[in-house]
Amino acid sequence: MTVNITTCAPELAGAAGEAPYAASKAGLIAISKGFARAGGAFNIRSNCVSMGVVRGTRFVEVHHPELIDESVATTPLGRLSSTLDIADAVVFLASDAASRITGATIDVNGGYYMRP
């Protein structure tokens, strides 16, 4: 069983200058689906957790603190994800409660991918 971490960049079609990053994340989603298809006969599951802007990460806190206010204001749930939000989704997908889930991408981003 695999749980891969990706972002909602492919759903946002990549901001200016970020197309290669978005393409790499789309590739991770595609290869996870391929693993799910190939591993299904062996009861091996493969899924992704897609995150948006996550509070407490070096990317946000050190390199892009300007994303915090902008993201909170434009995310439907009105807050950033926490590292615990992401971990909870990973634990769920790795558990027996998700035994019938494979080839899926779970968005854990408060609707960030729907922002204007």
Q: Which residues are catalytic?
A: 21
User: Position of tokens 């300007």?
Assistant: 66
For residues 30 and 48, give the distance between their C-alpha atoms in angstroms, rounded to a whole number. 10
DSSP string, 39-66: HGGGT--EEEEEE--EET-HIIIII-TH
